[in-house]
Amino acid sequence: MPPLSRLLPTTLATALTATVAFGTLAAVPAFADTTPPAATPPAPSQPGTPAPVTPLTGSVTLKLPTTVAAGKSSTVRGTLVALPTTGPTTAVPTAPVTLRWRTVGTTRWSSRTVTTTTKGAWSTTLKLQTNSEVQARYAGTSGVTAASSPIGRVTATQAVSISKLSPKRPAIGQKLTVSGVTSNALRGTTVTVQRLRNGVWTTAATAKVSATGSYAAKLKVRSSASLTLRTRSIATAAITRATSARRTVGVAVTATLYPGQTLGAGRVLTSPNGLYSATVGSNGDLAVTDTAGNVLWHSNTTGSAPSLALTSTGNVVLRGSTGVLWQSGSTGAVPRLVMQNDGSLVLFSLGASRWSSTLGLGGSVRPAACWSTSFDCISYTGYNPAISYWRMYAGHNCTNYVAYRLTLAGVKNPPWGYPGGSAWQWRAGAKKKGFAVNTTPAVGAVMQWGRNTPGGGSSGHVVYVEQVTSTGVWISEDSWSGHASYRFIASTSSAFTSARFLHIKDAA
């Protein structure tokens, strides 16, 4: 059969073909020679954009001690969990948690990373040296948000100790060394050694802590009372003050000096009752004082490297680098020098007193007590410091006292005229008037020193010669400092050799 296009008119054939092609023909004639087009398979299914997932809120906790020992291990712990919108919390396992810490008052953090357990717990140890701030942090993931704990504060208690006291039983005048160790944070700082007095802690010494954490402070023992001590550290925002345990040390009391023994600078004889002391000063002066520091007697000498000794023949000798500074001039067998409970420094020989700071040689040479603020040692002369002699300044004045003694001898006015002048000017005044001025002592002579000389001071000094011996002179004096004295000046001392004797009116 020929094709349909040849049996039908061209127009009809075209229309039928078009209708089939576009699928608009409701029915196809039975005679149509055509095959329905194959059905087009559906396009493969394309996945759609998933709905966004909201991460859970992370929460990290921190549990730490409020106080730890500086430098000692302490445990820090916490948990990391996720907080859902509803329902129970969920542990975040095997997740990194960063722990960081810093010294209070600073900005630099140190840090360490720890991993949570399967239950979301974490822990680690820290060795904090100072008061510190600590925080735990979690960086977060796509499923759990980042989180930080509140910043916690830990107080690190410091440590300081007194490990040694040397000597174990110091004497008065000796230096006591207090040594110990501290915790690491105190290295390079200063510690304070305190002494307990009448229930109050007072500073006795300070010392710097070494790079190894040790310290050594020195303090001078000044009384016979036992010493109760403690050491304290500094206190800052980063360092909590540390205080050591108390340590008590007894003081060795020595009241007696025997032949062959010496007292060096700073060494002391103390009365058994602890109220009076005889001390060799580093300036070369031997002084008897009470616990209040009042000077009851002194040798009024100066010199370097002083030492006091008692000879086997009974002479108490104070020496310096230049020779004898002072001596008692006494003699006696089996001697001993004793600081007594009444404040007297006494030399005994076979039980009898041979010299005393308050009575003198055997009670015969020195007519009164020596070095007394009540002027007992020169008041026997009738001297009244409130009265001016030779128009000198009234009061405690060396020139006024010597002017009084010369007035008693008949010299009513200064031989060189008014004003009498300062002590250092007397030598020139005496020479000008023709009086003998030399190095030969005599009873009644004026012993005189220039300015800034051994025994002279800044204005010079004058004293009255009471007695001359083969080893020196006994003199009496007053001074601007308010002390009077009746003392011995050895001829070998620098005070003696630097002085001159003015023979204005020697005693007959």
Q: Could you give phi then psi for residue 63, rounded to 5 degrees?
A: -125, 120
Query: Contact, 310 vs 334, CB < 8 A?
Result: no
Residue 108 has pLDDT above 90, yes or no: yes
Phi, psi of 432, deg, nearest 5: -60, -35
Judge whether residue 114 has pLDDT over 50.
yes
pTM: 0.49
Output the CA–CA distances (angstroms, integers) from residue 27 to 16, 23, 180, in the order listed: 11, 10, 118
How is residue 492 written in tokens?
Answer: 């070998």
Element (DSSP H or E) covering residue 447:
strand 446-449
Q: What are phi and psi of 468, to 5 degrees?
A: -115, 130
- Percent helix, strand and coil across the chain, each rounded to 5? 10, 40, 50
**Residue 80 pLDDT exceeds 90:** yes
Asked if pLDDT for residue 243 goes beyond 60, the answer is yes
- pLDDT > 60? residue 119: yes
Q: Is the pLDDT of residue 12 over 60?
A: no
| Distance between CA atoms of residues 375 and 9, nearest Å | 169
Q: How close are the terminal C-alpha atoms of the chain, in Å?
A: 192
Measured torsion, CA atoms of residues 293, 296, 299, 300, in degrees rounded to the nearest 10: 70
Q: Which residues pair with 319 in a beta bridge?
A: 307, 324
Q: Mean pLDDT throughout 179-200?
A: 96
The answer to whether residues 96 and 203 touch, using CB atoms and an 8 Å cutoff, is: no
Listed as own residue / partner, the contacts of 47-53 with beta carbons closer than 8 Å and 24 or more positions apart are 53/142, 53/143
**According to the model, what pLDDT value does residue 482 have?**
55
- Where does the pLDDT of residue 193 fall: very low under 50, low under 70, confident under 90, or very high at 90 and above? very high
CA 89 to chain centre: 57
Q: What is the mean pLDDT of residues 398-427?
A: 86
pLDDT at 230: 98
pLDDT at residue 362 in the model: 31
Taking the CA atoms of the chain, what radius of gyration do you get in angstroms?
52
> How high is the pLDDT of residue 393?
85
Q: How buried is residue 37: exposed, middle or buried, by Cβ count under 10 Å (0-12/13-18/19+)?
A: exposed
pLDDT tens string 285-337: 999 888 878 887 888 888 999 999 999 999 999 999 999 998 887 888 999 99
Q: Which of 106-110, 245-249, 297-301 has the lowest mean pLDDT?
A: 297-301
Chain-centroid distance of CA 316 in Å reads 39
More confident residue, 9 or 233: 233
Tokens in use for 121? 């717990």
Extended strands (E) in 329-405? 335-339, 345-349, 352-356
With a pLDDT cut of 90, the percent of the chain lying above it is 50
- Strand order across the 484-490 sheet: 436-438, 500-503, 446-449, 461-469, 472-478, 484-490
pLDDT of residue 304: 93
pLDDT of 76: 98
8 A C-beta contact, residue 424 and residue 500: no
Amino acid at 252: A
Mean predicted confidence (pLDDT) in 484-507: 85
Where residue 52 falls among pLDDT bands split at 50, 70, 90?
confident
Backbone phi, psi, residue 424, to 5°: -65, -20
Mean pLDDT of the chain: 84
Residue 31 confidence class, pLDDT cut points 50, 70, 90: very low
Q: Which domains does the chain have, with CATH numbers?
A: 57-156 (2.60.40.10), 164-249 (2.60.40.10), 256-365 (2.90.10.10), 387-503 (3.90.1720.10)
CA distance 201 to 124: 42
Q: Is the pLDDT of residue 359 over 80?
A: no
Rounded distance, CA 33 to CA 255, Å? 152
